[in-house]
Structure 1
């Protein structure tokens, strides 16, 4: 079997990397950008760090900022119209997963108008053309949407999120600049960081994992475990570590898939508007316990990457527990809750059925069912 790896054409890393946006736009002959960002980033001057560079270079742009934290079908439709009205020929996505996911959907529909019905993009849509060129500038250290072929859209009417997987949506350029992430508040830093850890751990144990992606995922786990606490405190070293780690995790999981921690997090986000990273962090230790029997010796390496001492002297049961405990401790240390008070038992069937239908579920190392998923969701209830 052939294993596929897809990455950006070009990526830039490190403080000050955003200056390369001008270099790339000019080198590629782009004429006008649609900048996709969210209202808070505009309000607090983060988006201006990029538009100031464009202004200085005399590069034209229009701004579309009507993007919600969990981007909706309407956000995408409005963005398509904004792109067309602006006469743009490329997109600069500035923000977290919401801005980048919206940009991907916009770019796909512009170049593949037969998929104007946003719901038709769910799963692996048979698009024919690459999306509009995207320069992706993450402002959070978590989603790695700048280097993945995935995006997630919320269907408000049906109370569900749907995952789209399309090699044609990959941004051509990623600009991973930790300075663009320095304004993240503690809560968002923690949540997005735990999302990155969930990517790395689920990618490492997914059914599609192989040697090259294992390398990416273990390195990401190692860097996250030593960097996330510092990033939450806004240290330079923590920010730089998380900016790199979340990208490395994206290099892996985008090419091999995820598992039910993400399936369940998508569902919690759609039903309760739970922030994605928070939902991932709550589900990850629970799902790790559930999956442990199907992971061979991999939890030993997760525990090692998390900094747990003496793993080689541990029994299988001991190192599996150590890995789960290390993840739960990191989550608690950065202030993520372990329970979800909003969860209602009458919602369990809908939650479980939605998670089972999610595109991430088949990659889970342990085959699951709706009843198991109901039991896992129920563990979010406070004692």
Structure 2
């Protein structure tokens, strides 16, 4: 069977990468941008780093910042109207997953108006046209939305998140500048870093994984194991390496999918507002244990990427335990809780578990699962 890889046409990496935005705008002869971002980045100066560059070159834009941390259907609808009223012909998405996910949905609907019902984008939507051009500027090292064909929208009425997968939504330019990430607080750095690790480990072990994506994921795991603690301490090298690690993980999982860590995290975000990275980080080690016997020798490679010695002479039970222990150790070191106490209420178990089972990510899990297994995993985490 042939394998497919979809990546950005162009990406810029490293400190100062944002300086390439004006040349990309001019090269593409874009006229006016809709800047999709959030109020926090607008208030604390993240957006001005980009608008200053645009102003210097007399490049037109309008700002849309009414985007929630878990972007909603209404956010998308408002963004579509803002794009139209602004007379924009491209989008600059500045932020983590929320502004980028919103930008993708807006950009798809603009060029595929038959999907104006945002819920119709769930799963693999049969859109016909590429989205309007997006320049994606990452401000976190975790979601990798700048390089993925996925986005997630919250349906507030139904207390659920839904995942959209569409090759037509990929940003044409990705800007991965660690300088845009230095103002992230420690807690957010840790959460997004563990989100990137979840992408890498789930992508590495998913049913669709293959040699090329394995390469991306293993390098991402190695970098995160080595540099996340440094990034949490806001050290420049740590920031730069985590930005790269997040992008590498995105290059992989966008093309092969994820598993039930994400399936179980999504309803927590939709129902309780739990930050996605925190939910993933808490759930990851427990699901790794659940999947371990269905991953062949992959956990040996994960343990090695974490720096575990003598993995070649270890039994499967030993290297699987070593891999899980290293993930738990890293999460603990950067201040991630080890359970869902205070986050999830047991009375909501049936609804949360059913939402997780029906999530689009469930099909990629290396171990086939069922409702009772997912309930037991949640109970274990409580």
Alignment TM class, shorter chain as reference: over 0.9
Mapped partners of 1:354, 1:298: distance in 2: 28
Counterpart of 2:12?
12
Q: Contact 1:343–1:380 at 8 Å: present in 2 too?
A: no
Counterparts of 1:237-248 in structure 2, within 5 Å, are 237-248=237-248
- Could you tell me how far 1:99 is from its partner in structure 2? 0.5
Q: RMSD over aligned Cα, in angstroms?
A: 0.5
Name the TM-score, length of structure 1 as normaliser: 0.99
Question: Residue 135 of structure 2 aligns with which residue?
Answer: 135
In 1: Cα distance, 2:380 partner to 2:175 partner: 39
Q: Cα offset for 1:306? A: 1.0
Question: Distance in 2 between the 1:76 and 1:128 partners?
Answer: 19
* 1:33/1:90 contact within 8 Å kept: yes
Output the CA distance in 1 between the equivalents of 2:302 and 2:187: 25
Answering whether residue 363 of structure 2 is matched by residue 362 of structure 1, we say yes
Identify the residue that residue 342 of structure 1 maps to in structure 2: 343
TM-score (norm 2): 0.99
Structure-2 residue corresponding to 1:195: 195
Structure 2 residue runs of 5 or longer lacking an equivalent are none
Post-superposition shift, 1:342? 2.8
8 Å CA contact 2:274, 2:343 repeated in 1: no
User: Given that residues 259 and 362 in structure 1 are in contact (C-alpha distance below 8 angstroms), is that contact kept between their aligned partners in structure 2?
Assistant: yes
The answer on whether the counterparts of 1:257 and 1:360 sit within 8 Å (CA) in structure 2 is yes
Give the whole-Å Cα distance in 2 for the aligned partners of 1:8 and 1:292.
Answer: 33
Partners of 2:315 and 2:126 in 1: CA distance: 47
1:311 is displaced (CA, Å) by: 1.3
Query: Offset of 1:70 from its aligned partner?
Result: 0.3
> Does the CA-based 8 Å contact 2:141-2:242 persist in structure 1?
yes
1:180 match: 180
Give the C-alpha shift of residue 266 in structure 1: 0.5
Tell me, in whole angstroms, the C-alpha distance in 2 between the residues paired with 1:91 and 1:141.
Answer: 21
Offset at residue 307 of structure 1 (A)? 1.2
The residue that corresponds to 2:146 in the other structure is 146
The CA deviation string for residues 168-218 of structure 1, in whole angstroms up to 9 with x for no partner, is: 000000000000011000000000000000000000000000000000000
Quote the residue 1:310 is aligned against: 310
Q: How far off its partner does 1:229 sit?
A: 0.3
Stretch deviating more after TM superposition (212-221 or 341-350): 341-350
| Secondary structure at the counterpart of residue 379 of structure 1 | helix
Kindly state the Cα deviation for residue 339 of structure 1 after the two structures are TM-superposed.
1.5
> What 5-or-longer segments of structure 1 have no aligned partner?
none
Which residue does 2:379 correspond to in 1? 378
User: Secondary structure of 1:302's match?
Assistant: helix
Counterpart for residue 100 of structure 2: 100
Q: Which structure 2 residues correspond to residues 208-357 of structure 1 after superposition, within 5 A?
A: 208-340=208-340, 341-357=342-358
Alpha-carbon separation, structure 2, partners of 1:4 and 1:342: 38
How far has the Cα of 1:344 moved from its partner? 1.5
> How far does residue 380 in structure 1 lie from its aligned partner after superposition?
2.0
**C-alpha separation in 1, matches of 2:32 and 2:63:** 11
User: Where in structure 1 do 4 or more consecutive aligned residues deviate above 3 Å?
Assistant: none
Offset of 1:314 from its aligned partner? Answer: 1.1
CA distance in 2, matches of 1:328, 1:142: 18
State the secondary structure of the residue aligned to 1:8: coil
Secondary structure of 2:146's counterpart equals helix
Question: How many residues of Structure 1 are paired with residues of Structure 2 in the alignment?
Answer: 381
Question: For 1:27-46, what aligned pairs fall within 5 Å after superposition?
Answer: 27-46=27-46
Q: Deviations over 1:149-186 (max 9, x none)?
A: 00000001100000000000000000000000110000
Rounded Cα–Cα distance in structure 2 between residues aligned with 1:207 and 1:132: 32
Distance 2:306 2:73 in 1: 38
- Distance in 1 (CA, whole Å) between partners of 2:69 and 2:35 is 16
Q: Could you tell me how far apart the structure 2 residues matched to 1:12 and 1:281 are?
A: 28
1:230-286 per-position Cα deviation (integer Å, ceiling 9, x unaligned): 000000110001000000000000000000000001111111111000000001001
